[in-house]
Amino acid sequence: MARVESLNILLDPAGLDYLAELYGPVIGNIEKSTLTAALRNINLSGDPVAGSVEAKRFAFAAVKPYGTARTAGKGEALKALPVTVQLNKRCELVRELEMNDTALYGVDSLLARVAAEHQLAAIRELESSFLAEAGAVATSVTPAATDPLDILEELILQVETTQNSYVNGVPRNLIHVVMRPSEYSKIRKLVNTQIQNASVNMAVEEFGSLNGVRVYSSIYLPEGVKQIALCEQSIAQPLLVVFVGAEKVNLSAATAVEFYFTYGTRAVMPELIAKITDPDDGGGDPGTGG
């Protein structure tokens, strides 16, 4: 779209087209480029507009001796556990722009700043909610070890060795660990100084592979939680962008840019989430969400 010279364009139909173009990458980044986007359950059915979706957990198939089905006259029934996820968090981001602001930054630049602010704010909301749910349902692990790598191994094993009707152990390539920055730094220091591992890319913010899992740092872990290990798709977080638009602020020279979205967060496989807490710590690192 051509350069925007005035905020007034946002108040006519062309303004909606402009905002749709501007917020397209924002919505894409929120849905695809966050930590939670890489881990959340995407096997959902139903229409988010209706207010809820459903995830299903299928029991794993057990190998039976040849002829079992013929003897029984039937095969094994498909066993599925439905989990309903309500989209019950209604959110808004409304930023008022004064005409004087456009003189300082230019309309295009100002709107780009607002879109970036909205993207970061939405990511904070979704990441904090996702990790808060993980922390609330996770099995608490009290490690016997004192070495950071050994502590990490105990946490991983809690998830890896889980067995029930729906899972018979979890491959390590499906397990991810999220740490508060101070814990992540301990591991990173050990990797930097003691481990020679070609699969660990030290130029990125997460380890390529450490003990067979990916390890991330996050400021959004809930208070008192040091580390969380979870299987991919163990938590669902459907997101519905409701509206992106603008309107004139009554009795002022300001225009409000509006971004509304709705989401829900629920653990689908709570037994495949484990955590290590710090009972002597009332909170996480500065800036920790939750």
Confidence at 199, pLDDT banded by 50, 70, 90: very low
* pLDDT number for residue 206: 55
Residue 135 CA to residue 132 CA, distance in Å, equals 5
Element (H, E) at 281: none
233 beta partners: none
* pLDDT number for residue 196: 55
Tell me which DSSP letter residue 224 carries: T
Q: In this model, does residue 202 exceed pLDDT 80?
A: no
Domains of the chain in start order, with CATH, are 7-277 (3.90.1690)
Residue 116 CA to residue 105 CA, distance in Å, equals 15
Q: In this model, does residue 257 exceed pLDDT 70?
A: yes
What is the β-pairing status of strands 273-277 and 139-140?
Answer: parallel
Q: Report pLDDT digits (tens) over 55-70.
A: 988 766 778 898 888 8
138-166: buried (b, 16+ CB within 10 Å) or exposed (e) per residue?
beebebeeeebeebbbbbbbbbbebeeeb
* pLDDT number for residue 60: 64
Q: In this model, does residue 118 exceed pLDDT 80?
A: yes
Most confident of 78-87, 105-114, 191-200, 226-235: 226-235
More confident site: 116 or 14: 116
Question: 3-state class of 141 per DSSP?
Answer: coil
Q: CB of 290 within 8 A of CB of 128?
A: yes
Tell me how far CA of residue 138 lies from CA of 42, 68, 229, in angstroms: 20, 38, 9
Q: CB of 48 within 8 A of CB of 238?
A: yes
Q: In this model, does residue 288 exceed pLDDT 50?
A: no
Q: Report pLDDT digits (tens) over 17-40.
A: 889 899 999 999 998 878 888 899
For the chain, the first-to-last Cα distance in angstroms comes to 39
**Entry pTM:** 0.85
* pLDDT number for residue 209: 72
Average pLDDT over all residues of the chain: 86
Q: In this model, does residue 93 exceed pLDDT 50?
A: yes
Q: What are phi and psi of 189, to 5 degrees?
A: -65, -40
* pLDDT number for residue 14: 81
More confident site: 150 or 290: 150
CA dihedral 26, 30, 34, 40 (to 10 degrees): -160
**What string of H, E and C letters represents the secondary structure of 39-69?**
HCECCEECCHHHCEEEEEEECCCCCCCCCHH
**Residues in the chain, how many?**
290
Q: In this model, does residue 285 exceed pLDDT 70?
A: no
Q: Report pLDDT digits (tens) over 137-149.
A: 999 999 999 999 9
Q: Report pLDDT digits (tens) over 215-235.
A: 999 999 999 999 999 999 999
